[in-house]
Structure 1
Amino acid sequence: MNGDGPRDSHSNSAAKPSIDLQQVRADDFRYLSAIARTGTRRSAAVFLGVDHTTVSRRIHALEKILDVRLIERGTNGWELTDIGRAVAEQARSIEESVQSAVDAAQGNSGNTLRGTVRVIAPDGFGTLVVTPALARLRLRHPDLSVELLTATRQMNLHQSGFDVALAVGSPVNSRLVSETVSRYSMGIYATEEYIREHGSPTSIEDVATHPIIFFVDSLLQVGDLDLERHLPGSSAKFMSTNIFAHVEATRAGGGIGLLPAFMASPYPELIRLLPKQVDVHLSFSLAARRESLTNPTVTAVRDAIHSEVARRRSELLPPV
C-alpha cells in the first residue's frame, strides 16, 4: 500500500515508520472518542456540536498520521476497527487529564463526576431499577449527564457506544468484563377475571392450553428467555418486544403472562399461578470494557446499581 492512505487494521507489518508526535493533534482523539461513545459519525457530530463532515475529516487526518484504519464500514454502518477501539480507550485518558487540569485551575476537588455516561439495559430492569440508581447518582454529581438506552433483545456489545451494559445472562465478548448483578424470579400470572372465565391451570402441562403472553421469539435472541425451556408445549399468542406490554396485556385479561416478579407484584389484580412449579430464576449481568474498569464514572455507576439491587433484593427474588 502506498503512503497516501492508512494501513489495514489487521496488517502484521513488523516495520512501521516512527510517527512524528508533533504532527499528532491531541484534539483529533476527541473525535474518535465521540464515535466510540455514540456509535456513529453523525451522532458524534451532534455530541460535539459540529458538522458530520468535520468528524470524518478529523478522523481521516488521524488515520493518515497513525497509518492505521480507525473506522470501517460494517453491517450497522461505520464502526470502530479493533485498533480504533484500542486507540479510543487510551484517548479517554486525554479527556480525563484535560478535565483534571480544568478542575485544578478552578480549584475543584475533583470528586465530582463530569461528562456523559451511556448505559444500556433491558426495558423492565433498566426502567424500574437502573433508572432510580442513575438518577440519584446524577443528583450527587450535577455535572454528570446520563444516557440510558433500554431494549430487551440481544445488544450488539461488539460495537462501541456504551460505557456500562446490563443484560439478561452473561454477554460473551472477550473485550468485556462481566459480573452477575442480581438473580431474579419469573412466574406465570393472570387476573381473577381471566381465571373465572377460563379456569386456573393445575399443572405445567395444563398451562399449554392457555394463551401465553411473552416475547416475539424471532426478535428476542436472548437464550435465557426461551419459552419452550420454561413452559414446555406452550405457545405465545400475544407477543411484544416490550416487557411493559406483557404486563399490561396480562392485566387486561389477555392470557397468562410469564412475567418478572418485580414487575408483576405491584399490581394486586395479578395472581401468581403454580408458584412452586413455575419459578424461573434468571440473572442480570453488568458488563464494561476491561480498559474502562478504572474509570471513576464507570465505577460509580457500577456501585450505584449494586446498591439499588441490594436494597430491593426481596422484590427481585421474592420467596414463593
Structure 2
Amino acid sequence: MSDPRSVRADDLRYLAAVVETGRLTSAAKKLGVDHSTVSRRLQALEQTLGARLLARVDEGWVLTEPGRAVIEHARMIDRAVELAAQAAGPSEPPGLTATVRITAADGFGTYFVTPAMARVRLQHPRLRIELATGARELTLRDTTFDIAVTPGPPPPATRLHTELLCEYDNGFYATEHYLREHGNPDSMSELAKHPIIWFVEELEKVHEIDLSSIVPNASLAFSSTNVFAQLEATRRGIGIGLLSKFVAHTAPELRPVAAGLPPTRVAVTLAARRDALKRPEVHVVREALHREVSVRGNELI
C-alpha cells in the first residue's frame, strides 16, 4: 500500500482531466499548463501508486483496471477544488458545471441528442456538452465517453451499463421526380433494378441492416459512411436511398417507394460506464435522452 502522504492531490486532478478529455494536450489546456507537465505528473502519480493508470489507444488515453479503481477518488478531489473556488468567489446561480461527453451516430446525434442537450443547457447553463458523432462498437476499455448512444440492441454480456433507449424504422425513399422518371418499384425484385444509396458496408463499425438480405444483388449507385451524404444523394436523384424514417422526413421532397420493406426496425442502445452514472450531470443527460425519444416517438416509428 502506498503512503497517502506521498500522493499529491494535484496529480489526481491531472488524471481526472486526462480521462475527461482523452488527450494530454486537451487536459493541459483545461488545467492551464503545458502537456509535458501533465505527462510528468501522471508518471509521478503512477510511480507513487505503483500501478499503470492509463493506456494509450488510437482515440487517446483510456483507464487501465487500476486506473478505474482510482478515477472516482480523483474526480472527487477535482470537484472539491472546484467547489472550494466557488465558495471563495462571488455567489453564482446553482447548477451543474461539469463536462459530459457523448458519442452517437451522425443522424441520431444531430436530430435527437442535440435537441435534448439544448434543453439540458437551459436548466444547467454552465454544464458543458461534448458530442462526438459516428457509430461505434461498445467497449469497456473506452473511457473517452460518458454516455454512448449506438445503433443495435444492448450486448448480452458487458460490464458497461446498457439499456434500450428507443427503436426506429427504416425505409426506401426517393424523390417524386425520380419515381416519375424511373418508375416506382413495387417489389424487391423490381427494386434490385434501381440504383441504391447505402453505407460503405466494409467501413461500417456497426451494422444496422443487412442490405443484401433485403435486396439480393442490389446495385449500389452511391455509398457513404455519412448518413447526411446519403440523404443528399437521395435528394439529388442519384437513386433510391435506404434511410431511417427520422432522417428521410427532414426532406419533404422524398417519398417512400411502393415496395413493402421487410421489418428493419433498429434498436438504439444507451451505454455508460457504471462509475459515470454516479455523477449527477451524467444522470441528467441520461434522463433527458429518454425524455426526448419518448416525446418524439412518432418521428421514430
Query: Are residue 301 (structure 1) and residue 285 (structure 2) matched?
Result: yes
> Superposition pairs for residues 247-266 of structure 1, below 5 Å?
247-266=231-250
Structure 1 match to 2:115: 132
Aligned mates of 2:140, 2:298 — CA distance in 1: 30
Structure 2 match to 1:177: 161
Gaps of 5+ in 2: none
Cα distance, 1:203 vs. partner?
0.8
Structure 2 match to 1:97: 80
CA contact (8 A) 1:186 1:281 kept: yes
CA contact (8 A) 1:185 1:281 kept: yes
Cα distance, 1:84 vs. partner?
1.8
Opposite residue 128 of structure 2, the aligned amino acid is S
Aligned mates of 2:121, 2:151 — CA distance in 1: 25
Aligned mates of 2:135, 2:90 — CA distance in 1: 43
SS of the residue corresponding to residue 241 of structure 1 reads coil
Cα distance, 1:28 vs. partner?
0.8
Structure 2 match to 1:312: 296
Change (3 A) 1:181 1:189: same
CA contact (8 A) 1:118 1:161 kept: yes
Cα distance, 1:65 vs. partner?
0.5
Gaps of 5+ in 1: 1-17
Opposite residue 19 of structure 2, the aligned amino acid is A
CA contact (8 A) 1:204 1:278 kept: no
> Superposition pairs for residues 177-256 of structure 1, below 5 Å?
177-256=161-240
Pick one of 99, 121, 135 that aligns with 2:104: 121
Identity %: 49
Aligned mates of 1:158, 1:229 — CA distance in 2: 33
Across the aligned residues of Structure 1 and Structure 2, the Cα RMSD in angstroms comes to 2.3
Structure 2 match to 1:12: none
Aligned mates of 1:89, 1:161 — CA distance in 2: 15
Change (3 A) 1:73 1:293: closer
Pick one of 10, 29, 33 that aligns with 1:27: 10
SS of the residue corresponding to residue 208 of structure 2 reads helix
Cα distance, 1:225 vs. partner?
3.0
> Superposition pairs for residues 9-24 of structure 1, below 5 Å?
18-24=1-7
SS of the residue corresponding to residue 186 of structure 2 reads coil
Structure 1 match to 2:135: 152
Aligned mates of 1:208, 1:309 — CA distance in 2: 33
Aligned mates of 1:240, 1:47 — CA distance in 2: 35
| 1:236-284 deviation per Cα after TM superposition (whole angstroms, max 9, x unaligned) | 2201111011111101101010001111113221110146434420011
Cα distance, 1:40 vs. partner?
2.1
TM-score (norm 2): 0.91
Pick one of 58, 64, 70 that aligns with 1:87: 70
Aligned mates of 2:26, 2:86 — CA distance in 1: 27
Aligned mates of 2:112, 2:280 — CA distance in 1: 21
Equivalences, count: 300
Aligned mates of 1:70, 1:255 — CA distance in 2: 51
Aligned mates of 1:161, 1:99 — CA distance in 2: 22
